[in-house]
Structure 1
């Protein structure tokens, strides 16, 4: 088992793989070493490919090898721009803010098993993608907090129809068809209600931890802190409270039975995840493949024009 206290992503260079620099050579190698890369990812939880000279124009063949079944970001709650065939910008929050640790779509009924990040433009300063071992994150929490979350988490969303705070339901589900949205939500085990203003209210209960299907490791796997106003900071939480009542917030969270999650619990989850994380700094052309169950990710503040693309697969 990986030592969670000293864990680092595995870094691979052209020399390590015995190939020439270049996206074509990397793609060819990946095509003949699928099982090897699969095993390395499970064993190391995250792999950084550095020094291969991949560009946005040469990314596609590499991505096809690492993510053979790319998924759409349906039911995603963070702001992104779709820039290709199920390829998106990383979360578009203001660059001076930290994005706390999370596993992609852990609040959904189904989530991607892999994420691939590609650095098209490196930031001038900062902008690392921190990654955290989910076993270590779980162990870092107080026993009182782990016990309180044992029953799961109830997520709540208020999605507007085109005007309002947060994302619209059309953006969230990448469709303007109510029937398609309802079919998706029914399949995902969600409860929903169409509001008088054509907005949509959604609720779903999900687990707070899961076990990896291969390793059996139990990991922290929820986004309760990101959905909790307290983890946004006192000023932001206060401003939201002045604008909207709790039941109308774009997103909120409670324990599975509806009991409020104490502010201190949400802040502890956020802070200890960030404290346990390892920063991956970006150079143009770098790629990082992560196991989305074993590893959470976030973003450090930065200056300059950072552009990191992300795609995901099952």
Structure 2
């Protein structure tokens, strides 16, 4: 398949915008922009490089880029909260790639913007690949696109404090069942508490959406990440040997409950990564993305990589 990638994130440096190469210079530039939202919708992703932002200076810049910072409630990936709705990026072994995805596309509400900040650059690798969602949709076989037209059903089994995967307490950032129930009721999810204290959740969500501003139709789901085939043959086989599919920490099916073929999700995963553009990291860099128009992932790395992430509506 021809891999003609024409889109790349817009890079903004102090010299380009006539700003001082400091966090304060970046903040002043951001305040001078008449329409940051419009700029982001046009460019889809923005890289701020050369401003030398320090972690202690991050809040001021973050407040300008993310007008309403959100908590990672109902998030399914392992992270550590390090500040006011600021988290480590997904904590996953350095030797593996993280496939392309739109943050929380499985939820009833997803963040409109994501901001990444490089506190410590890796020794090698560790880029954040990003993909134009229209490109991702267009590079899939028509058969795959049509199969997902009615959406997908995500299922979770969240243990009550001990078990495989995340607990419901960590997922919803609360110990109170009534708060979880209110959240899930508002989200339109199907859910039930099990006798062992765990929580089973099922949600029907779209697989393809249109951006509310640009109207672009984009691939927008995490079926490949929720599907056992994405774990690799050995891991998937090991899980299948100890528990049925309906008891996995997370799983996915077509909207009608029928299984998604392994080859479909492998195509989605591989073509997403193959068609992505890598954003390499230097300490102090920031990457702002439109979470509907752009998917993101992570390349393998060596060394002490530390990238923080925050999100807003």
Q: TM-score range by the shorter chain?
A: over 0.9
Map 1:1-314; keep pairs closer than 5 Å.
5-35=5-35, 37-314=36-313
Task: For residue 57 of structure 1, give the secondary structure of its aligned residue in structure 2.
Answer: helix
Query: Using the alignment, how far apart are the partners of 2:38 and 2:5 within structure 1?
Result: 21
Summarize deviations over 1:29-70 as a string: whole Å, max 9, x none.
2123151x3222111100000000001011110000000100
Query: Using the alignment, how far apart are the partners of 2:251 and 2:208 within structure 1?
Result: 19
Query: Using the alignment, how far apart are the partners of 2:271 and 2:231 within structure 1?
Result: 15
> Gaps (5+ residues) in structure 2?
none
> Gaps (5+ residues) in structure 1?
none
Query: Using the alignment, how far apart are the partners of 2:67 and 2:145 within structure 1?
Result: 36
Task: For residue 290 of structure 1, give the secondary structure of its aligned residue in structure 2.
Answer: strand
**CA-CA distance at 1:247 after TM superposition:** 0.9
Summarize deviations over 1:150-181 as a string: whole Å, max 9, x none.
11100000000111111000000000111000
Query: Using the alignment, how far apart are the partners of 1:38 and 1:14 within structure 2?
Result: 20
Summarize deviations over 1:181-239 as a string: whole Å, max 9, x none.
00000100100010111000000000101000111000000000000000111111112
**CA-CA distance at 1:5 after TM superposition:** 3.2
Size of the alignment, in residue pairs?
310
Query: Using the alignment, how far apart are the partners of 2:212 and 2:284 within structure 1?
Result: 31
Query: Using the alignment, how far apart are the partners of 1:58 and 1:224 within structure 2?
Result: 37
Query: Using the alignment, how far apart are the partners of 1:137 and 1:115 within structure 2?
Result: 19
Query: Using the alignment, how far apart are the partners of 1:260 and 1:102 within structure 2?
Result: 20
Task: For residue 56 of structure 2, give the secondary structure of its aligned residue in structure 1.
Answer: coil
TM-align CA RMSD:
0.9
